[in-house]
Structure 1
Amino acid sequence: MPHKSIHPASGAQFSIESGQYQAVITSVGATLRSLTHAGRDLVVPFQAEEVRPLYRGANLVPWPNRIADGAYSCNGKDEQLPINEVDRMTSLHGLVLWNNWELRAETPSSVTLGAVVEPQAGYPHRLEIEAAYTLTDEGLTWRVSAVNVGTGAGTLPAPYGVAPHPYLVAGDGRVDAWTLTLPAAEVLQVTAERLLPTELADVAVHDGGYFDFQQARELRATKIDHAYTALPDAALAEVRLSSPDGTGVLMRWNPQVLPWVQIHTADRPENAWNRIGLAVEPMSCPPDAFNSGKDLITLACGERHDASWIIAAL
């Protein structure tokens, strides 16, 4: 007898609310499917029946962004991960994107989901992962934690990185009409074909300030798919995105925990998704950190890492 699915393609749906905020999180990937304030979208949503388009609202662990050729060395051993970005020959955005996460806790305004990264080819470590979403009148707090729970005596340290992948929405229209404030002084240059990192550049002088949004300015036709760093030495970093009609959205986080942020203008000229939102991805490490070691976290057996960020309406 054929098996009958009890959930839509994106998994079980968990709706939370507080004040004028509402959010829906799905069990597949513990994905933020929608977030609204007073009925206005703050992130690009998708339908419950859809397979998640691209990486909208995904959790990127145990690494964000790209690993070149899926290859790296760790603990004296060469590792090879599966390639899931075939056109660029990279391993992209971690290992929990399509896990069906388990419900760990739920209230009317919060939900916590959990998953396990099992030891596997290319990543021989076991991690317990939790994603917790909490709404208050101040917005959505989204927290991701990871613990290296080990695979027996003498467990080796696990390389680790984390980021979210929301596409922020300022208001009506597309990215071109919105104004971005991004307090980052350096941008990581990348190769044209594979978007692999080369060197850091000062945003104020590189390409005539093309990537410089330290002072608020309209995005217009700017195309970005780059990691930024050199965030302010402050308790919180804050990215703001506003529209001409006065609405907007912000994202804030601790730059000591997440010293990088990937910005992507969602350039998809081949379909209707073109520039409909701005990906803002606070990251614990830059692209290809499993090879460069830059800001790479190493979790010893029993060690825990926590990172969080807030999305709120302007």
Structure 2
Amino acid sequence: MSTEFTLSAGGYTAVVTARAAALRILQFEGRDLVVPFPEGGPIPDYRGIIAAPWPNRIADGKYSFDGVEHHLPVNEPERETALHGLAFPLDWTLKESDAGSLTLTCTVGPTAGYPFVLELGAQYTLDDAGLHTSVTARNAADVAAPYGVCPHPYLVAGSSPLDEWLLEFSADSFLDVTPDRLLPIGVLPVDGHAFDFRSARAIGSTEIDHAFTGITFDGGLARLSVRDPAGTGVGMSWDESCPWLQIHTADKPDPIPGRIGLAVEPMTCPPDAFNSGTDLIRLEPGASHKASWSMYAL
């Protein structure tokens, strides 16, 4: 079986890998809209993965659900957290495909720290308007399960440095986090803050690895744009299933190249939601949840 799948439509090309159902390439007329990664081998920086059954991180890999404490493996040892769920190491299975769409599936659990069973499906559809993705989770066990999801693309506006890109998205609050472990402290307004991008402006030297909320949904969709001053750009929209948005400027310690793309992650819940319970999805036996987003050239 092929380990990756290619879609083409309307000047767009998308390549999706079986590993993590990850978006490896998204181009419009040959221009990268996301930071790609090489075929085969590991996926760097979680690029393009589907993060489920939780987005972002869980403190110490510990949480309680329905009165039972669970202990997940810590895969971000420098911050002592469980990061980006359990689906990304898995090889997803091709369920169906045609020239413009494909659906990949996998089963998560039961496993250490997550004694639940979810059937996940990721559908990618490419057309003249861009790439449209939806992730559906179904609880296949006889007990309720905690759940959250997000994508993890690094958007590319163009060839200029990220500091020069113009970013715009409508969110009136952000989640303040501890500087060492990036764990939640509390929600603060963006008014007067360097994180206020409600009007388009250059990212500059601002370093961001934070979740935003208070997002405006117009006609059921929220929108983000990031534009290169040279005239190119990329946009992303998502539905109301994702009231949170993680933005990360991909800062890296020297000598690792940093700020090569802007991570934009519409999330169903904030970081550490398995502990806070904030917007955590409770999937009852047999119940399903669907989240959707799109990416397109500007």
- Interval containing the TM-score (normalised by the shorter chain): over 0.9
Conserved 8 A contact 1:188-1:226: yes
Greater CA drift, 45-54 or 243-252: 45-54
1:202 paired residue number: 189
Q: 1:214 to 1:304 in 2, by over 3 A?
A: same
Question: SS state of the match for residue 230, structure 1?
Answer: strand
User: Aligned partner of 1:304: which letter?
Assistant: S
User: Aligned partner of 2:59: which letter?
Assistant: A
2:36 and 2:260 map into 1 onto residues whose CA distance is 11
- Structure 2 residue aligned with 1:31, among 18, 22, 43? 22
Conserved 8 A contact 1:25-1:33: yes
Conserved 8 A contact 1:182-1:213: yes
User: Aligned partner of 1:188: which letter?
Assistant: L
- The residue correspondences of 1:32-111 to structure 2 (distance < 5 A) are 32-111=23-102
**Normalization by structure 1: what TM-score?**
0.93
Give how far 1:272 is off: 4.8
Give how far 1:269 is off: 3.5
Give how far 1:233 is off: 4.3
1:100 and 1:257 map into 2 onto residues whose CA distance is 25
1:233 and 1:135 map into 2 onto residues whose CA distance is 23
Q: Structure 2 unaligned segments of length 5 or more: list them.
A: none
**Higher gyration radius (CA):** 1
Question: SS state of the match for residue 176, structure 1?
Answer: helix
1:179 paired residue number: 166
Question: SS state of the match for residue 290, structure 1?
Answer: helix
Question: SS state of the match for residue 274, structure 2?
Answer: helix
Q: Any runs of at least 4 consecutive aligned residues in structure 1 with deviations exceeding 2 A, and if so which?
A: 269-273
What do the CA deviations read for 1:173-221 (whole angstroms, capped 9, x no partner)?
Answer: 331110000110001000010000001111013xxx2111011000010
Total equivalences in the alignment: 297
1:292 and 1:19 map into 2 onto residues whose CA distance is 43
Q: Structure 1 unaligned segments of length 5 or more: list them.
A: 1-5
What do the CA deviations read for 1:227-253 (whole angstroms, capped 9, x no partner)?
Answer: 000011431110100001110000001
1:190 and 1:214 map into 2 onto residues whose CA distance is 21
- Structure 2 residue aligned with 1:141, among 132, 145, 163? 132
1:3 paired residue number: none
Question: SS state of the match for residue 54, structure 1?
Answer: helix
2:224 paired residue number: 239
Q: 1:17 to 1:233 in 2, by over 3 A?
A: closer
- Aligned residues: percent identity? 51
1:54 and 1:140 map into 2 onto residues whose CA distance is 21
1:272 and 1:116 map into 2 onto residues whose CA distance is 35
1:278 paired residue number: 262
Give how far 1:19 is off: 1.4
User: Aligned partner of 1:230: which letter?
Assistant: G
Give how far 1:110 is off: 1.0
1:106 and 1:52 map into 2 onto residues whose CA distance is 23
1:269 and 1:71 map into 2 onto residues whose CA distance is 28
Conserved 8 A contact 2:160-2:229: no
2:105 and 2:259 map into 1 onto residues whose CA distance is 32
Conserved 8 A contact 2:160-2:230: no
Give how far 1:98 is off: 1.0
Q: 1:251 to 1:76 in 2, by over 3 A?
A: same
1:105 and 1:291 map into 2 onto residues whose CA distance is 36
2:38 and 2:217 map into 1 onto residues whose CA distance is 39
1:144 and 1:258 map into 2 onto residues whose CA distance is 12
User: Aligned partner of 2:46: which letter?
Assistant: Y
Conserved 8 A contact 1:231-1:237: yes
